[in-house]
Every structure is written in C-alpha cells, then in structure tokens.
Structure 1
C-alpha cells in the first residue's frame, strides 16, 4: 500500500520538473523595450539590436555560477560576434558597481556589461531574482530561451546556430 503514495509523489515531482523545464526552454515572448546603461557610460537600446541574436545574462559578482559562466560568455562572444551576436551582462541591483567594474576588468570581459541599480531591468525581464538567469533573444526580438542556472555551452551554441 505504500507504493501508491510513492507513485503519486513521483508523478507530482515529474510533472513539476517537466513544467519547470518547459518554462525555462519554451518561453517565447517579446523582449521588453529596455535601455541598458553600460559600465562604460553608454546607453544601449535593446530594440536597436533587432535583427541580431542577443544574450542578456543577469549575474552577480558573488554568484559562483555566474563566475563559472563567464568563460562560456567570452567563448560565445568570440565565436559569434562576427555573425552579429550581442551579449549584455546585467549586474543585479544589490551588486556594488565597484565590484562589477573590478570583475569586468580582471576577467577582461569583451561584451557589454550593464548596471541595474534600481532593479528595473530585472523587473522588465519578469522579475529576475536568481542568478545566473540567461535570456536568448532571436533576431525578431522574441525571448526564445530563459535559463535559470549555468547554461550548457554546447546547448547555447546549437541554439544560436539555429537562429
């Protein structure tokens, strides 16, 4: 008789895991109309990147997964920059700007890094709370992937190549 509750629990967990996977991989919706303020003082309108694939990655300097993901982002930048890929790393509102600047400098980040001191960018992308959270935006300006946690480089490469 104990197998019936165990099967119910297993099915509930499987359903929840499936829903989470679907939510993270099948989130096709228009990207928000936002403007990023980069650490170099530039303003970058997301709408101006329409026609190009874009990765927007929310991160924090004290997030081990975010630091682990930096080499993946650098690799993607180097591999797909000539095909038009734009990458924007957005630091979370609680991250001190001097920490963001220090990491960007020490890791020699070749892509755009933006600050979000008021949290409005995180809010515009669906109230991002966890880091890293990565969005892949297609050339038509639609979010086609929302990934919470460190993304797999090979999976992201495959997705970009399909755009």
Structure 2
C-alpha cells in the first residue's frame, strides 16, 4: 500500500489553497505539515532538504516531491483521473488552463510578500494598484468564447 501523501503548506498561501482544493475534489487523504512562511521556515535547512526551491506548496506523493501548484494539480489529474478536474473537450481544457495561469501569474504575485514587506505600508498600495491594473487588462482582453 502506498504511503499517505504529505502536503507542506502555509494556510494563507493561495498556491497551497489551489492544491488543497484539488486534493479535496479528488478525495485524496493527505497529511498536512505546516510551513510558517512568516517565520521564514521555508528557508530552514530542514525544509530546503524537502524542497530546494524553498516554496510552498510541496507535495510528497508516489515517491516524488512536487512543487508549484499547477504542476502538482496536473500531476494529480494525470495520475488520478477520476473525478476529473478538467473538462473533456480540449478547447474547454485550454480555457481552464488559461484561467489558471491568469490566477497563478496575475493574482499570486500580489500576495507573495515577505514578512518584512507586509510591515511596510507601501506594498498595500502597490497591491491595490496592481490588482486594478490586472483587472483593467483582463477586462480589455476577455477569455476566448467557446463555440
């Protein structure tokens, strides 16, 4: 019997949330190991040995350690296809992947502040301005319609 997957995660990380949601939708039971990024635990020697990129989430599953939420989710979808997270139609799958990239690339950088940056007032303003810019951009470039 395969061992239970282990998810190294931080509760407030949107990247980690994506993986936890995928695990829940797939019905995969896993062990949760907290990595407090506000205490800089991701840069500890102990965690660096688990994930040299020093980022959460990291999922140990099937004898491999996977990092980056979208790569983890794709692995789960490819190795555990039921229930499916992606539509069957390739065009619809592409749109889902496009939306996923918008979230990962457009929204996540606004949250990825270090503990020092959170303490300064200017990142909050930057986040608001960046989010407004992203929303304006996405409003001008809608996702393709499937016909």
**TM-score after normalising by structure 1:** 0.36
Which of the pair is proportionally richer in strand? 1
**TM-score after normalising by structure 2:** 0.39
> Could you say which structure has the greater relative contact order, defined with CA pairs below 8 angstroms and 6 or more residues apart?
1
